[in-house]
Structures are given as structure tokens and as C-alpha cells.
Amino acid sequence: MSSLIFGPITSRRFGQSLGIDLSPDTKQCNFDCLYCELKGAKTVLKSQKAPLVEEIIDELKEALLKYENIDVITITANGEPTLYPDLAHLVDEILKIKKGHKLLILSNGSTIDQSNIQSVLSKLDIVKLSLDCVNPMCFKKLDRAHKGIDIAKIIEGMKEFRAHYRGELVIEILVVEGLNDSEIEFQSLNTVLQEIKPDRIDVGTIDRPPAYNVKGVSIERLIELSHLLKNLHVTIAYKKNYIPKRRHFSKEEIVALLKRRPQSFEDIALCFDEESLKNLNALIDENVLHVKNIAGVNFYKVS
């Protein structure tokens, strides 16, 4: 596999993913996030070095012939993929050859206030944007954006994009100890997310060595914070070595829990004991609950 095309890799949230790296040789980003797994680098507003669209498409065609059983083609970069200068052309060319595979982009959300970026991303099946903070001071400290990038404009851009986007919008929150792990910050995030109306929210923390000296939070803290996001489809990135504490839920407790917030299959599997799972399945048989797939993740919901 070339440096431009990588995978397929198994994504817990999106299935089998074939990746496109729009900046394979160097980090090119308008953020220098404290938690980034890539080495810190000076921020830029556009890619200085970019592969040709024709080169990407040729290699993608070869990969699609070799790997047929994939779920998504993922546009990404060592940095921010929307800084790629020929993104509109690239997306149009991918759409011609992607067949039945979904097209996904992983973006930090920094350019979503730009109408040309909104137009391009509206053609994709799934758009995943980051929103770690609402508070400007938190945003400045944590995401370390290029001068002139304003979190208020990003949020307004997300609202505008959601208003006309017909695909699946996923928002990712990366929680860092001492920066955006407070209840006040998550309550502010909840207020904004109610207005953005994403299809799904992924809440996670640091699980790889970061560029700077910062720490993640515990899974228990992620769960506590996620409960502040009301009536939204939320998934939590559990660490592989996490040992869950399963407990019993009656039928009434299950319905009350899911009325507050839908739960993913993974949440249920980690938190419910065997008897609770039987109660859950009984509620599905009784049509009290149903399952809904959101951007590749199944959620239990009250019917």
C-alpha cells in the first residue's frame, strides 16, 4: 500500500475503513492541539505540499480492486484534510468510483464556516468534526489554533452546515484533564450541541502518547461527563483494558435510562449484567425499544 492510501483498518465506529492521507510526508494543520499524537508543528492556513488528485485517484482505484469488503473511504491527513487545495475536485473524482462505499472525512471543524468547504462536505456520506471546547479560553489553550480562527465562527458554521446537510454529522469531543473536563464546559457543550443537532457525538480521551505534556481522564469521568449531553446519541471510547462494572437494571430502569439518552450496543454490553440484557431483549420483543444505526453505530432507543 502506498503512503497516500492506507488500510483497510478496523474502526470501532465506522467499520472497515480505507484511508486517504492528503499530507503523507509532513504535518500540515491549522491547529496544534496539545493532545495530538503527531509532533508539534507550526500552524498553517493551507497545505504547502499536496499530492495530485490524479495520483490519489489512481492509487485509490487499485486499492478498491484489491479490497472490496470495506465500509467507508476515509479522507484524512497528517493534519487537517480540508486545507488540501484541490479538495472539491478530489471529492468529485472519488464519488465517480466509490461504488457502494460511504465517503467519510475526519476534520477538526476549523474551516466549516467557509461556504466553499460546506459545499464540498455536503457531498459526503459522513462528516466528522471536532468540538473540544465552547469557551474561547479553553479553545485557545487546548486546540492552539492559527491566529484568526474563532471558535464562535466554527460553531455558527456547524449550525449552518447542519441546516442543509443530509448526510450523517458526527461531532467528536476529546477530553483532556484540567482543560475541558469540567461540568461547566460540558454543560456549555450540551447547549451548543442541542443547536447543532449532530447525528452522533463521540466522547473520548487521550489513549496515545500526545505531542505535549497533558493527560487524559478516566473512563468513569468520561461517562459522568457524557451524561451531561442530554437526548443525544453519544458513544464513549472505552480503552481496550477497561474492566467494566456491570449492574442490574429492571425494565423500568432501562426505559428511564434510554429516555434520558440512547445507549450504544457497546455501552449496554459493558454496563448491563446478564439479567439486565434479558430485560432489554424482552423490551425489544415488546416493541418498547428499537435499534437505530447512526453513522455505523447501533443505539437502543425508546420507541
Averaged pLDDT, groups of 10, the chain, 303 residues long: 79 86 91 88 88 96 90 94 97 95 97 98 98 96 94 98 97 97 97 97 88 90 93 80 72 84 81 90 94 83 88
Q: Which residues pair with 16 in a beta bridge?
A: 10
Q: What is the pLDDT of residue 217?
A: 93
Please answer whether residues 27 and 38 qualify as being in contact, where contact means their C-beta atoms are separated by less than 8 angstroms: yes
- The architecture in CATH of the region 244-303 reads Orthogonal Bundle (1.10)
Q: What is the pLDDT of residue 34?
A: 93
Give the pTM: 0.85
Dihedral, 302, 102, 195, 129 alpha carbons, nearest 10: 120
Looking at the chain, the domain(s) classified CATH 1.10.10 span: 244-303
- One-letter identity of residue 7: G
Q: Count of CB atoms within 10 A of residue 160's CB?
A: 15
> Peptide bond preceding 209: is omega within 30 degrees of 0, i.e. cis?
no
Angle between helices 251-260 and 274-285 (to 10 degrees): 80
Quick check: helix, strand or coil at residue 146?
coil
Domain at 5-243: CATH code: 3.20.20.70
Q: What is the pLDDT of residue 1?
A: 46
Dihedral, 156, 158, 162, 166 alpha carbons, nearest 10: 150
Q: What is the pLDDT of residue 2?
A: 58
Please answer whether residues 170 and 129 qualify as being in contact, where contact means their C-beta atoms are separated by less than 8 angstroms: yes
Q: Cell digits for 165?
A: 446537510
- One-letter identity of residue 245: K
> Peptide bond preceding 24: is omega within 30 degrees of 0, i.e. cis?
no
Phi and psi based region of residue 144 (left: phi greater than 0; alpha: psi -120 to 50; beta: remaining):
left
